[in-house]
Chains A and B, each alone.
Chain A
Amino acid sequence: MIVEPNWQLARKRKTIEQRARILHKIRAFFTEQGFFEVETPARIPVNAPELHIDAIASGNWSLQTSPELCMKRLLAAGYDNIFQICHCWRAEEQGPRHLPEYTMLEWYRRDCDYQQLMHDCEKLINNLVGRKSLTWQGQEVDITMPWPRLTVKQAFSQHSSTSLSQITDEKKFSELMSNEIEPFLPRNKPLFLTDYPTLQGSLAQQKADDADCVERVELYIAGLELANGFTELTDAAEQRRRFEKEEKQRQAAGKASCPLPEKYLDELETLPNAAGIALGVDRLIMLLCDQPTIDEVVCFTPEQL
């Protein structure tokens, strides 16, 4: 056999270089917008309980599934506009758009709601692309601002035979979302899907005019789910009730129980009005480098280690 450089690694070199340039531009963008970068620990005592997100254990602690608890504790301590680019881990999530270890960009703004986060996304992507459109896997996407907003309620009435008010079961919601809604959302422009049922936004603020919905937004570009953000819930008692409910559902589903993040709940009392959003960096690189799968935009997949 001829000894050659590992082709699995070598062939991705151009994309990985482009990835480095994009990360640099993201940092420059947020710094210019008045944010400062923070680094919070990747290994934490406990994550926020979520029915469908499973952490990977690290000794008696866990690897973070998201940096949100630590970042919101910083917000509550007076750090106003912060961002972070970090690795997160979610057990058993792997596919063309998922890896169990992936890179998250998360940012928080004080004294504003999810509307501002949507403006941030529009500006960030336009800044990174530098043109009026991008093309991903043959799909051209016009990214000129503003981008359309569609509520979950509207999406169900447009695309599903079931209306949102008929859905009480969380499983049914995910299934309809995955089978009847997401595949049919328009792809020629980015799309913000907004205002989710409360059960689908455990840490989000309820809407003032609709108690059944929370101010949560998901950003889709070319059919890729790219970011998830919300107006932060600042009511500690309500947050505890939602965590307990989520935890009960986890136990009912036979999942490992974990203690509630008590320090977070304590400090939530001083959390100012704020909004935060998490954006999947690997998927963003897929879009900007026109790569078909997440494996193509990371140096190593688990199988290559």
Chain B
Amino acid sequence: MSLTKASIVDSICNHSGCSKTQSIDLMESILKTIKMTLESGEDVLISGFGKFCVKEKKERRGRNPQTGDDLMLGSRRVVIFKCSFLLKDKINGKG
């Protein structure tokens, strides 16, 4: 069992009394805002849940694990998630 966008949309629909179409728009709008913020290089902090951070990775020497060849990995930007301690406690049954 996994939670998907469709089940969150249903939940928005039930909790807010919005129509299904509007609930889909709301869900997409939230995701769009978060994605655009991360894209601009800004972190997104959801208190009680966690923080989505944009991290700059420097260029480094790597290896192809299959062939053992040396190669350079270019600098890049990645998203990492830091879990809130509140969420961590909930997951570990202490919440």
Partners in one complex: no
